[in-house]
Amino acid sequence: GAVVSQHPSWVICKSGTSVKIECRSLDFQATTMFWYRQFPKQSLMLMATSNEGSKATYEQGVEKDKFLINHASLTLSTLTVTSAHPEDSSFYICSAREQSTDTQYFGPGTRLTVL
Amino acid sequence: SQKIEQNSEALNIQEGKTATLTCNYTNYSPAYLQWYRQDPGRGPVFLLLIRENEKEKRKERLKVTFDTTLKQSLFHITASQPADSATYLCALHKGNAGNMLTFGGGTRLMVKP
**Of A2, A5, A54, nearest to A28 (Cα)?**
A2
Residue A102 pLDDT exceeds 60: yes
Distances (CA, A) of B19 to B9, B30, B84: 14, 24, 10
Residue A49, φ and ψ in degrees, nearest 5 = -105, 125
Residue B99 pLDDT exceeds 80: no
Chain B residues with CB-CB distance to A112 below 8 A: none
Chain B residues with CB-CB distance to A105 below 8 A: 46
Contact A35, A81 (CB under 8 A): no
User: Minimal Cα distance from A6: which residue of B?
Assistant: B43
pLDDT tens string A4-39: 999 999 999 999 999 999 999 999 999 899 999 999
Chain B residues with CB-CB distance to A109 below 8 A: 41-43
* Pick from A102, A107, A108: CB nearest B93: A102
pLDDT tens string B42-82: 999 999 999 989 999 999 999 999 998 999 999 999 999 99
Q: What is the predicted pLDDT for the residue at B97?
A: 56
Distances (CA, A) of A23 to A27, A78, A103, B13: 13, 6, 16, 36
